[in-house]
Amino acid sequence: MDCKETYNSFIYYIEGDLSHEKIIEFDSHINECSSCSKIFNEIKLTYNIIDNEKDVKINPFLFTRIKQRLENENLSKVSKKYFLYKKALNTVLLSSFIILGIWLGIFMGSINNTDSVNISQTNSEIYYMNDIQQESVEFFLIED
């Protein structure tokens, strides 16, 4: 077996697809030729690394951890949305109460606001209803 034929048989040898006679010829050439031996060892090492990467052990709890992390992220998003809605609602309610308080103050102030005619009539009525202004204090002292 020459170097070119050996080089073409590297992969077949590693995968075990060569006949018994070809395996013997391949082994004898690899033992005799140092350049083919070096290339074969590099290819064999590469295949071993690839095989080791393929045999990654699956963690049985990987799915549950990923699922839990996704649920936690969803809950945190929901809680952030809830916090923003709550904050906005508090702001709107506080503003509404302040506006309502100002409006009620203006409304209640306008109820007692009467024109000057009504005030003069009220003063004259108070004069007739208040007996103390009509009679002096001495009058009360003398009668008793």
In the chain, where the domains are located: 3-54, 71-113, 114-144
Rounded to two decimals, the pTM is 0.39
pLDDT(66) > 80: yes
Question: CA of 113: how far to CAs of 37, 103, 109, 120, 124, in Å?
Answer: 112, 15, 6, 13, 18
The burial class, CB within 10 Å (0-12 / 13-18 / 19+), for 65 is: exposed
User: What per-residue confidence (pLDDT) applies to 135?
Assistant: 64
Q: What is the mean pLDDT of residues 100-114?
A: 81
Region for 56 from its dihedrals, namely left if φ exceeds 0, alpha if ψ lies in -120 to 50, beta otherwise: beta
